[in-house]
Amino acid sequence: MTVRLRGRIGLHVLLMAAALAWLAPLLWAVFTAFRPYDDTQKHGYLSWPKSLTFSNFTSAWSQAQFPGYFRNTVLVAVPGVLITLLFAAAVAFVVSRFSFWWNIPLLLLFTAGNLLPQQVIITPLYRLYLDVPGLGSGSGKMYDTLLGLVLIHVAFQSGFSTFVLANYMKTIPHELTEAALVDGAGVARQFFQIILPLCRPPLAALATLLSIWIYNDFFWAIVLISTGSKMPITSALNNLVGNYFTNDNLLAAGALMTALPTLIIYFLLQRQFISGLTLGSGKG
Amino acid sequence: MTARVHRLTKRDKVVVAVMAGIPTLLALCLVWLPAIASIVLSFTNWTGVGGLSTITFDGVDNYKQLFSINPQFWPAVEHNLIWLAALLLVGTPLGMFLAYQLDKKIRLTKFYQTAFFLPVVVSTAVIGFVWKLVYDPDNGLINSLFHTNKPGDYLDWIGSPHLNLWAVLVAAIWRHAGYLMVLYLAGLKSVDPSLKEAAALDGAGGWQAFRHVVFPVLKPINIVVLVVTIIEALRAFDIVWVFNKGAQGTELLSILITQNIVGEASRIGYGSAIAVVLMVISLGAIIPYLWVTFRRERREGNGR
């Protein structure tokens, strides 16, 4: 008994130390962000704070024009998530409801594409975007447009969602759609009125996951967007360093404000997020 | 039995074609066309300026240059391998260990899990900035703590090629362990609780219970973990780009590819050759994984 108890205490000491060590970098950023620049200049960054302030957040917010970047992120992430889910569900529906010979090759095409590193395709993609017409850029090309970002997110992300949704739809009894077929419901109605409503759990999990992934994406906009003010927030951060964030205090505030929305989504929708992450691997 | 195709009306056939066709077309145009174009362009010296008619093939020149002349190439390959080894040998066991400890019904487990998982929620770019604040040679947490920010005793975690790779690897492991903890926690949920209790009653110590009861159950998830880890190691980019743009000491294949586009001189052909190297390595991990996954799928499909 005492041995077990001692074991328990030892485990807690270990885990608590590890957890605090894990949080330390984030806490350091929080600490830095709340300290006035003058204070850290005079006493060093590792010193007892004379006062704490919100001013780093407010000046990072207004000087660096955070609202504009957040707007860009919303304009990319909302359509990105919705179209990805619609496309993925459509392909998953076809693959799981009909027995075409190309079902597995099609699933492979989507799944494999999603597993490639982004940099493998970026060079021709970048060149392609310079030629393909798009909306919203000065040159009339796909390059440097938010539409271009939405499309590449959809094309790249739909693989994982298709895989997950196809697996889920296979567990839905075929009698359901067969019955609808007898009633004269076409394919579109079977999809929208029978299958999609039944897929609410994986759709909710995937929507949470995709929102965070697209929000967090750094790479596509770095290469495919050239106008600084068109960047989504995560990628914009890179340009803001040095231009607006002239000290560590402002940088910390800016980085934390960028992280905040994902943390909020995570804390609100924790269950969906975790189940989404393990959906793809849970089958393994 | 799945619905047979000939029972579809003409209208339904169109609907099916649209449902499968449009997403496929998009994936083909934006993912697979560029992937294949990378291979073709890697045999050209195209700079990307001018139309397709200006492309001239010059055989394996790009590869020759890459393998023998480019001073950044082999370091990049080496760093990608070190990255993989670090995630595999440090990050993964750490994630497994944390999951195993947190799977026991202990108090505060929610707090611990959240602490370890937070880095996974935050974007890797933000992670780069957060760790940059920790590593900042003048004002960072580490150098302030150890007083290594003074002349003569100065550790430049970001600039020094002897230190910077290890510095970013700590950040990468930090994130990876939390990610794997969640994957393993899900796997451990499928271990029969009575099995764990029986092992505990038998007096099997932590390590023995783990080795003989838990580890075998985690075997299938280990395949997924291996693939996830390899792909993460090949995808590594954001943290390094934020840290120092892959300057000396932290070169990676993904960084070299990107530098050939956003750098001063864009070299489409040359960048494509590096991309092909990365693609071949990636497919080495992706193909076996898909093979295992889809073979099981087929078996399960037939079993229905």
Kindly tell me if the per-residue pLDDT of B204 is higher than 80: no
Subunit contact A18:B116, Cβ cutoff 8 A: yes
Question: Token match 């780069």: residue?
Answer: B128
Ranking A21-30, A86-95, B241-250 by mean pLDDT, the lowest is: B241-250
- Which residue ranges make up each domain of chain B? 60-303
Q: What are phi and psi of B251, to 5 degrees?
A: -60, 140
Alpha carbons B80 and A266: distance in angstroms, whole number: 30
Condensed to tens digits (0 to 9), the pLDDT of residues A247-262 reads 899 999 999 999 999 9
Indicate the average pLDDT of chain A: 90
What's the pLDDT band for B98 if we cut at 50, 70, 90?
very high
- Can you read off the two tokens belonging to residue A244? 């607006």
Cβ–Cβ under 8 Å, residues A283 and A160 = no
Q: CA nearest A5 in B: which residue?
A: B106
- Can you read off the two tokens belonging to residue B190? 């499928």
Condensed to tens digits (0 to 9), the pLDDT of residues A101-118 reads 899 899 999 999 889 999
Chain B residues whose CB is inside 8 A of the A23 CB are 115, 118
Query: Quick check: helix, strand or coil at residue B150?
Result: strand
Q: What Å distances lie between residue B187 and A115, A187, A273, B88, B277, CA to CA?
A: 22, 37, 16, 18, 34
Instruction: List residues bridging with B185 in a β-sheet.
Output: none
**What is the fold of A58-282?**
MetI-like fold (1.10.3720)
What's the pLDDT band for A223 if we cut at 50, 70, 90?
very high
What's the pLDDT band for B302 if we cut at 50, 70, 90?
very low
Which is it for strands B149-150 and B153-154: parallel, antiparallel or unpaired? antiparallel
Subunit contact B35:A116, Cβ cutoff 8 A: yes
**Residue among A20, A98, A162 minimizing CB distance to B5:** A98
What CATH architecture applies to the domain B60-303? Answer: Orthogonal Bundle (1.10)
Amino acid identity for residue B209 in this structure: A
Top-confidence residue, B81 or B109: B81
Alpha carbons A12 and B109: distance in angstroms, whole number: 10
Condensed to tens digits (0 to 9), the pLDDT of residues B213-256 reads 778 878 878 888 898 899 999 999 999 999 988 888 999 999 99
Chain B residues whose CB is inside 8 A of the A259 CB are 122-123, 126
Ranking B43-52, B140-149, B167-176, B267-276 by mean pLDDT, the lowest is: B43-52
The number of C-alpha atoms within 13 Å of B290 and in the hemisphere containing its C-beta is 22
The predicted structure's pLDDT at residue A74: 97
Top-confidence residue, A272 or A217: A217
Cβ–Cβ under 8 Å, residues A24 and B141 = yes
The predicted structure's pLDDT at residue A44: 85
- Which residue ranges make up each domain of chain A? 58-282
Condensed to tens digits (0 to 9), the pLDDT of residues A230-240 reads 999 999 998 88
Subunit contact A22:B119, Cβ cutoff 8 A: yes
Please list, in sequence order, all residues whose beta carbon lies within 8 angstroms of the beta carbon of residue B110, skipping any fewer than 6 positions away: none
Q: What's the burial of B47, exposed, middle or buried (CB within 10 Å: 0-12/13-18/19+)?
A: middle
E strands present in chain A = none
Chain A residues whose CB is inside 8 A of the B111 CB are 19
In this prediction, residues B65-83 reach a mean pLDDT of 94
Predicted TM-score (pTM) of this structure: 0.92
Phi-psi region of A144 (alpha: psi -120 to 50; beta: other; left: phi over 0): left
Alpha carbons B125 and B106: distance in angstroms, whole number: 34
Alpha carbons B267 and B257: distance in angstroms, whole number: 10
Q: Is the CB of residue B145 less than 8 Å away from at least one CB of chain A?
A: yes
Subunit contact B3:A154, Cβ cutoff 8 A: no
**Residue among B9, B182, B298 minimizing CB distance to A277:** B182
Cβ–Cβ under 8 Å, residues B124 and B239 = yes
**Residue among A44, A106, A223 minimizing CB distance to B261:** A223
Kindly tell me if the per-residue pLDDT of A134 is higher than 50: yes
Condensed to tens digits (0 to 9), the pLDDT of residues A37-61 reads 888 888 888 888 888 899 999 999 9
Q: How many residue pairs bridge chain A and chain B with CB atoms within 8 Å of each other?
A: 309
**Residue among B116, B131, B254 minimizing CB distance to A22:** B116
The predicted structure's pLDDT at residue A1: 53
Chain B residues whose CB is inside 8 A of the A91 CB are 19-20, 23-24
Question: Token match 């050939």: residue?
Answer: B260
Please list, in sequence order, all residues whose beta carbon lies within 8 angstroms of the beta carbon of residue A194, skipping any fewer than 6 positions away: A176, A177, A180, A185
Q: Is the CB of residue B201 less than 8 Å away from at least one CB of chain A?
A: no
The predicted structure's pLDDT at residue A138: 75
